Amino acid sequence: MHRSWTLALLLLWSSAAVAGPRDFTILLPGAPATAEEARPYVDLLLAYLKSKVGGADFNGAFYGELAPGLQHLETALPGYGFVSAGVFLVHGAKHKMRPLAQLVYDGERASPYAIVVREGRYQGLEQLKGRQLAGGILLEAELFFRIALGGTYAAEDFELIPTTRTLRFLRKVAKDKVDAIVLDRRAVEGLDRLKLPAKVAKLVDTQPVPHPLFVAFGDRAPAAEQAKVQAALVALCRDPEGKKVCDNFGFDDFVAVTDADLAPLHAQYSAP
């Protein structure tokens, strides 16, 4: 079943949280799922990685909230992670995150979001200043305003409503009870299939926001193993067995990335 990547990624991880270099920690702030919901799917990916890398089993821990996820990184000291671009940009240096691979969705390493309003209610983003803006990505507000909006606006320009309850707040937008909501591209493409109280419309597209990244944490896992993990991730959607994982989750591909590949992103994030 083809799914939005923001939902599909949540299904990659079990609730196991055994500290060590073979731990994967997923940290996607605002992710609307639990570790229990991931349980039926996790074995597909972890078994694939073990088959390619060899050695002991891999374990996974999932966090949809930033604070406990960061605490886990401090105390459990995992070897690998799958993190949002926001987590990577803000906390990558402290935790010595080394990028291994990045999700490709619809052929791209980054995707724009859209700000959606009740049809005819607003004519431009400037009219939304001082008004309500809802959305899951607002749980990483710095990422949204520095990358998605390119620094043109700041968090204080709006009344932010960070939420993972997208459909509920989309209905509120349609009812004119909330001014606007930020949706990812796949959600926007599905708007015509929803039965809403009134029509909604895209007000503006944002700049592309980078997709989440697989990272290694420093040298907790051996360099040779990190290279094998990277190769396995890059081959995931092209391998007959790995393709089953990708087909289940609607993934297109993963591509190898380095610090140099992400230097422009760091520059954009750090720009005054």
Residue 166 CB contacts under 8 Å (≥ 6 apart), including other chains? 32, 135, 136, 181, 183, 187
Q: pLDDT (tens digit, 9 = 90+) per residue, 204-254? A: 999 999 999 999 999 999 999 999 999 999 999 999 989 988 887 778 999
Kindly indicate the confidence band of residue 196, based on its pLDDT and cuts at 50, 70 and 90. very high
pLDDT of residue 8: 46
- What is the mean predicted confidence (pLDDT) over 165-174? 94
pTM comes to 0.87
Q: pLDDT (tens digit, 9 = 90+) per residue, 78-135? A: 999 999 999 999 999 999 999 999 999 888 999 999 999 999 999 999 999 999 999 9
- Judged against a pLDDT cut of 50, whether residue 34 lies above it is answered with yes
Same fold, 5-107+211-270 and 110-209: yes
pLDDT of residue 40: 64
CATH placement of domain 5-107+211-270: 3.40.190.180
CATH placement of domain 110-209: 3.40.190.10
Domain layout of the chain by residue ranges: 5-107+211-270, 110-209
pLDDT of residue 65: 84
